[in-house]
């Protein structure tokens, strides 16, 4: 218990009942509020969320059918499969093997991460490295028009607090900030081309209006996401024969956003 009497996740009583079923991870907690930036994302209430590892060089024209088949094959309860099929249960897709996922707990927060960076997304900030508006190669604005590539640094983060709608949305931002900071430090890029975040809270928990970095929830989330991603990278690339690509140019997939936007003041 904390000073405010709220039970926190512990090794004996975690926030999620996380279970790995071969290439599927189930993050179960009945009646949870979720906000997902992944496939069929948005805000919903469900008893579980899922991370599904996809095969190498995977392409799929029927994501709903793929997810439905995969969850059924891995023994997920029928009612939870149906929730995923309706888009109620968040589902994340990744090219990273589920055995490399790692979790972290601190205070009122628990987070899990998968981390593969075969598709890095660099964001140069040096003006000399940027193209002037309209001068980039490819399309008129130099922006890509790519498709989903398996890889990803996905995060699932949950808190025992009952977050206000804005605080739950901000928890996504807090997790993304922690992910970018950790990846910049570890692999030199702030993300990949297919990252996603699922944030969760307990609607029966102690109400919390905010989740910024100065709050108990926000500070714990930053630490959990940082440590889960660092551990997931170590798990994925711990073999001396395998390591993250040293640059976007050396990666199998990846993008560099070097287009320069047109900047203008806000007029009175």
**Per-residue tens of pLDDT for the chain, all 268 residues:** 454 455 688 765 689 999 999 999 999 999 999 999 999 999 999 999 999 999 877 777 788 999 999 999 999 999 999 999 888 999 999 999 999 999 999 999 999 999 999 999 999 998 887 877 655 554 556 666 666 555 689 999 999 999 999 999 999 999 999 999 999 999 999 999 999 999 999 999 999 999 999 999 999 999 999 999 999 999 999 876 678 888 888 888 888 988 888 889 999 9
Angle at 119 between CA 222 and CA 81, to 5 degrees: 70
Please tell me the pTM assigned to this model: 0.90
CATH topology classification for 17-256: 3.60.70
Query: Which residue blocks in 137-215 are alpha helix, DSSP H?
Result: 165-187
Which pLDDT belongs to residue 189? 95
Give the domain ranges of the chain.
17-256
Assigned token pair, 225: 């996401």
Which pLDDT belongs to residue 122? 93
Which pLDDT belongs to residue 141? 67
Distance (Å, whole) CA 250 – CA 115: 18
Q: Cα-flanking dihedrals φ and ψ of residue 227, to 5°?
A: -75, -35
Which pLDDT belongs to residue 36? 97
> How many residues are there in the chain?
268
201 class by beta-carbon count within 10 Å (0-12 exposed, 13-18 middle, 19+ buried): buried
- Asked whether 114 and 75 are in contact (CB, 8 A), the reply is no
Q: Among candidates 17, 29, 26, which has minimal Cα distance to 205?
A: 29
Place of tokens 């806000």: 266
Assigned token pair, 202: 């307990």
Assigned token pair, 249: 């140019």
For residue 14, the Cα-to-chain-centroid distance in whole angstroms is 19
Distance (Å, whole) CA 20 – CA 99: 8
Which pLDDT belongs to residue 1? 47
Strand ranges (E), 68-164: 91-94, 102-106, 109-115, 120-122, 153-159, 162-163
């Amino acid at each position: 218990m904390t000073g405010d009497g709220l039970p926190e996740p512990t090794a004996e009583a975690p926030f999620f009942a996380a279970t790995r079923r071969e290439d599927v991870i189930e993050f179960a907690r009945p009646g949870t509020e979720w906000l997902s930036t992944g496939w069929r994302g948005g805000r919903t209430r469900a008893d579980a969320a899922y991370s599904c590892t996809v095969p190498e060089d995977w392409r799929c024209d029927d994501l709903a059918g793929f997810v439905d088949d995969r969850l059924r094959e891995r023994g997920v309860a029928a009612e939870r499969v149906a929730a995923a099929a309706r888009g109620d249960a968040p589902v994340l897709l990744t090219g990273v093997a589920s055995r490399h996922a790692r979790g972290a707990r601190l205070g009122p927060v628990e987070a899990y991460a998968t981390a593969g960076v075969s598709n890095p997304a660099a964001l140069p900030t040096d003006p000399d490295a940027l193209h002037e508006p309209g001068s980039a190669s490819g399309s008129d604005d130099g922006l890509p028009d790519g498709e989903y590539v398996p890889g990803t640094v996905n995060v699932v983060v949950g808190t025992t607090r009952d977050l206000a709608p804005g605080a739950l949305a901000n928890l996504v931002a807090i997790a993304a900030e922690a992910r970018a900071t950790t990846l910049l430090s570890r692999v030199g890029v702030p993300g990949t081309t297919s990252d996603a975040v699922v944030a969760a809270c307990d609607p029966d928990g102690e109400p919390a209006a905010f989740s910024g970095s100065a709050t108990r929830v926000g500070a714990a989330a930053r630490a959990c996401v940082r440590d889960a991603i660092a551990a997931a990278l170590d798990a994925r690339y711990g073999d001396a024969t395998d390591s993250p690509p040293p640059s976007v140019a050396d990666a199998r997939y990846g993008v560099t956003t070097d287009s320069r936007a047109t900047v203008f003041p806000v007029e009175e």
